Amino acid sequence: MSFQGKHGAPLFQYNRAGQATLFGAFVDRDLDCSRSSKGNKAITGSFTDVRKHLDWICNLTGKINSCYFS
């Protein structure tokens, strides 16, 4: 079984004020979901770190985040 149709799914976390922060996006097309029952290791490597793409995201959306992560 694979995660077909889930590409680009967000990995985010809510802060105490209820605002969501995007940390990653699902990218692995060939991940075997049956491995996820053995722990989170099979899934964690399947997200890309969106901080590396903030300039592109801001340019595309027209929104600028004043708090860039280093």
What's the pLDDT tens digit per position in 13-64? 899 999 888 888 777 655 555 555 445 444 445 777 888 888 888 888 777 7
pLDDT for res 66: 57
Residues whose CB falls within 8 Å of the CB of residue 24, separated by 6 or more in sequence, listed in order = 10, 11, 47, 48, 49, 50
Q: Pick the more confident residue, 1 or 3.
A: 3
Q: Say which amino acid occupies 22.
A: L
pLDDT value for 13: 87
CB–CB of 30/6 below 8 Å? no
Prediction pTM value: 0.46
